[in-house]
Chain A
Amino acid sequence: MKLYEHEAKTIFQKYEIPTPRGELRTSSSLVREVTAKLGVPVAIKAQILVSGRGKAGGIVFANSTQEAETAAKKLLGSEIKGVKVKEVLVEEKIVAKKELYFGITTDRAKCSYVAIASSEGGIDIEEVAAMMPERIVKFFIDSTYGFRSYHAYQIARKLGYVGSQLRDLATIFIKLYKIAMDYDAELVEINPLMETVDGRFVAADSRLLIDDNALYRHPEYKERLIHEAEIELSAQEIEAQKAGLAYVKLDGNIGIIGNGAGLVMATLDAVQFYGGRPANFLDVGGGASADMMASALNIVLSDPKVEVVFINILGGITRCDEVAKGILEAKKRIGFTKPIVIRLVGTNEEEGRRILTEAGIHFLDSMEEAAMKAVEIAKTGG
């Protein structure tokens, strides 16, 4: 789960990481008020969960209360990268001498957390890694011993700092690590981490992603998750979430249902290979019941863009007879408004096929054959 900038900053403040003075507002007149209180210049920042917000015009600087109000009026209610802006964070504008980067994330190959620092902040860290790898300091954290203060000092030294600045920077690193652990962060980063003209360090922006699988340890974000679902997800995605199905909306016209993430991805690829365009990813998971199969079909058929549905089931724990029953159940409940191509093999396949045959539903043996058939139907419009 992604946290908003202001949510992450509230956590930063709790851990005493310096952030710019600022407040969250939802109307332009309130923005004007808070600007007067903070003093100009200010930064007005759209609170949205998409990356590249700055480049897309989501951050505006203002030199007067009037400018602030005008900017807020323009931002609030507008759409940035397809997401509606409902709140803005108004902050004192920090004059930076230098912009740094510091973040903590996981490293798959090393099976550990990794601290990443750079003297080149303010831009996408991946861009820095690609263009100037020598400007990146990486430290892999041994999970048995953790990230110690001298590790933080080592990193701050490598960025070229000494004296009290060395201590201040290292302290921020340690605190960010503590946040990463306490909040089960997949990623927590400060970008840019600004060095001010008078030598202080301020977290000008913040990003915090909480591991979805650890959310049960952070019940305070449960409400927040529902909120995120409402603004970020399509109707189908919300339905799928309720039904416990993994669904991702794509922009084609061939609806896809399968069992197992890898198989479904491979099914999308096969459809594209034969010249079709998948409308979605939907994994009914292992051991799917007839009921789940019916909800899956319901969700996919409710997407108006879908012209044909391709069901690809390889029964392992999932039983083909259950899948067949689910398909019939869906037919009974909602009717088949669109053509359906079915590939059904594996556990209890004879029984599953018998059920389908008796209901007059056609099925195919191979994934490739079925993919071709689905593409052909999508192209000719059934």
Chain B
Amino acid sequence: MGVFVGKHTRAIVQGITGGQGSFHTRLMLDYGTQIVAGVTPMKGGAQVHGVPVYDTVEEAASKHKADASIIFVPAPFAAEAAFEAIEAGLKTIVIITEHIPVKDAIQVMARAKQAKAIVIGPNTPGIIAPNECKLGIMPAHVFRRGIVGVASRSGTLTYEIATGLSVSDLGQSTCIGLGGDPIVGLSFVDILKEFERDKQTKAVALIGEIGGNLEELATEYIAREGYSKPVAAFIAGRTAPSGKRMGHAGAIIMGRTGTARSKIEAFKKAGVDVAEKPRDVAKLLSERLGKKSISTRRNSEK
């Protein structure tokens, strides 16, 4: 079972009748994800790839015992969709939508916290537990069931690093996109805690980028708690200038906050290996895991 999602996950798709919603519903179904219903107001009664469509989340969730939602609703209406999902009692909400106003995102996160729901995103590729559940838009073929838990602030870069992990036989336990926006539902620390508990996860890859201080907070957590699993990090944006948004709304250095250097130094201080290039993440974790297995073997010989 993956972290947050697994074979058991019963998801609805909000915005299922839109281009993106319908396209990715098919791909998620092909992957084996249980997409039990879809929601688009005023389209109730329709079907998309055999999935029944409802007008409201309340109806869809109660009729099909759903526990998760993936949102493809356009930015001006996406916060409303998230509120609806949270109020209907869904506990895992993936918001794919990009360009949601920060004020809306803040309100959604506050509401989710009250309801003890988890929000992945906004502006995320989603979450995948290889061979179990894909609740997202990532290309399935780069992932392979394995032992590395991946948490990332970007999309394509995650596929690049996941490919490296797949090729090197480490594979992934669960791969989670935090989202490229300044305000997102999960932090690296939240995910590190989940991976610490997860039996399938033997090592963790953190893929960060410039902007904010979620990486720095993760390093504090790793150092403070004496994190038990090997962690490797990659930080994108060493060459990014200050004050410019690098594609993601959240990827911006503001004054002194959010530089790649600050993040890399913090990781190194916490004893986390930092990869110079994306493909080095797999190499670093292989080395760490190799050493660890040797040291456990030695211990058991004693």
| A interface with B by C-beta (< 8 Å) | 106, 108-109, 111-113, 124, 126, 130, 142-144, 181, 184, 186, 211-214, 216-217, 246, 248, 250, 258-266, 268-273, 278, 281, 283, 286, 314-317, 346-347, 366-368
For B255, what are the chain A residues with a Cβ–Cβ distance below 8 Å? 124, 126
**Beta-carbon nearest neighbor of A285 in chain B:** B247
Contact B276 A273 (CB under 8 A): yes
Given contacts A142-B110, A283-B247, A317-B139, contact A262 B236 (CB under 8 A): yes
Contact B240 A263 (CB under 8 A): no
Given contacts A109-B187, A111-B110, A317-B139, contact A266 B217 (CB under 8 A): no
Q: Which positions 123-180 of chain B face chain A at CB distance < 8 Å?
A: 125, 137-139, 141-142, 152-160, 163, 180
17 A–B contacts, CB within 8 A, in A order:
A108-B212, A109-B217, A143-B107, A214-B101, A248-B245, A250-B239, A250-B241, A262-B155, A263-B155, A265-B209, A265-B251, A268-B240, A269-B237, A269-B239, A314-B160, A316-B138, A347-B141
For B239, what are the chain A residues with a Cβ–Cβ distance below 8 Å? 250, 265, 268-269, 271-272, 278
Q: What is the minimal beta-carbon distance from B218 to any residue of chain A, in angstroms?
A: 10
Q: B152: which of A262, A315, A347 is its contact (CB, 8 Å)? A: A262
Q: A108: which of B157, B240, B250 is its contact (CB, 8 Å)? A: B250
For A130, what are the chain B residues with a Cβ–Cβ distance below 8 Å? 256
For A246, what are the chain B residues with a Cβ–Cβ distance below 8 Å? 245-247
Contact A263 B110 (CB under 8 A): no
Instruction: Say whether B300 faces chain A, with CB atoms less than 8 Å apart.
Output: no
For A368, what are the chain B residues with a Cβ–Cβ distance below 8 Å? 277, 279
Instruction: Say whether B248 faces chain A, with CB atoms less than 8 Å apart.
Output: yes
A259 and B139 CA atoms in complex are apart in Å by 14
Given contacts A213-B100, A368-B277, contact A263 B180 (CB under 8 A): no
For B105, what are the chain A residues with a Cβ–Cβ distance below 8 Å? 111
- Kindly supply a per-residue 1/0 record for chain B positions 172-205, scoring 1 wherever the CB is within 8 Å of any chain A CB and 0 otherwise: 0000000010111101000000000000000000
For B152, what are the chain A residues with a Cβ–Cβ distance below 8 Å? 262
Q: What is the minimal beta-carbon distance from B181 to any residue of chain A, in angstroms?
A: 8
A111 and B152 CA atoms in complex are apart in Å by 18
Instruction: Say whether B238 faces chain A, with CB atoms less than 8 Å apart.
Output: yes
Q: What is the minimal beta-carbon distance from B100 to any residue of chain A, in angstroms?
A: 6
A156 and B231 CA atoms in complex are apart in Å by 44
Q: Which positions 72-115 of chain B face chain A at CB distance < 8 Å?
A: 75-76, 99-103, 105-107, 109-111, 114
How many residue pairs between the two chains, A and B, have CB atoms under 8 Å in the bound complex?
Answer: 173
**Beta-carbon nearest neighbor of B257 in chain A:** A126
**Beta-carbon nearest neighbor of B113 in chain A:** A111
Closest 4 CB pairs of A and B: A262-B154, A261-B247, A260-B156, A262-B157
Q: Interface SS of chain A: helix, strand, loop or mixed?
A: mixed
Q: A263: which of B76, B106, B154, B212 is its contact (CB, 8 Å)? A: B154
Instruction: Say whether B286 faces chain A, with CB atoms less than 8 Å apart.
Output: no
Known: A260-B155, A270-B277. 8 other contacts (CB 8 A): A109-B187, A126-B255, A184-B103, A211-B101, A213-B249, A261-B248, A263-B160, A265-B246
Number of interface residues of B (CB under 8 A): 66
Instruction: Say whether B38 faces chain A, with CB atoms less than 8 Å apart.
Output: no
For A143, what are the chain B residues with a Cβ–Cβ distance below 8 Å? 106-107, 110
A124 and B236 CA atoms in complex are apart in Å by 27
For A271, what are the chain B residues with a Cβ–Cβ distance below 8 Å? 239
Contact A346 B212 (CB under 8 A): no
For A262, what are the chain B residues with a Cβ–Cβ distance below 8 Å? 152-158, 180, 207, 209, 236, 247-248, 251
Q: Which positions 205-257 of chain B face chain A at CB distance < 8 Å?
A: 207, 209-210, 212-214, 217, 234, 236-241, 244-251, 255-257
Contact B106 A106 (CB under 8 A): yes
For B107, what are the chain A residues with a Cβ–Cβ distance below 8 Å? 143
Given contacts A260-B155, A368-B279, contact A214 B102 (CB under 8 A): yes
**Beta-carbon nearest neighbor of A209 in chain B:** B254
For B157, what are the chain A residues with a Cβ–Cβ distance below 8 Å? 260, 262-263, 265-266
For A347, what are the chain B residues with a Cβ–Cβ distance below 8 Å? 139, 141
Instruction: Say whether B2 faces chain A, with CB atoms less than 8 Å apart.
Output: no
Contact B102 A261 (CB under 8 A): no
**Beta-carbon nearest neighbor of A108 in chain B:** B212
A278 and B236 CA atoms in complex are apart in Å by 14
For B139, what are the chain A residues with a Cβ–Cβ distance below 8 Å? 315-317, 346-347
Contact A265 B100 (CB under 8 A): no
Instruction: Say whether B21 faces chain A, with CB atoms less than 8 Å apart.
Output: no
For B76, what are the chain A residues with a Cβ–Cβ distance below 8 Å? 216
A269 and B141 CA atoms in complex are apart in Å by 26
Q: What is the minimal beta-carbon distance from B277 to any residue of chain A, in angstroms?
A: 6
**Beta-carbon nearest neighbor of B187 in chain A:** A109
**Beta-carbon nearest neighbor of B238 in chain A:** A269
Given contacts A316-B156, A317-B139, contact A265 B106 (CB under 8 A): no
Q: What is the minimal beta-carbon distance from A185 to any residue of chain B, in angstroms?
A: 9
Contact A316 B238 (CB under 8 A): no
Contact A211 B103 (CB under 8 A): yes
Contact A316 B101 (CB under 8 A): no
Q: B102: which of A109, A184, A273 is its contact (CB, 8 Å)? A: A184
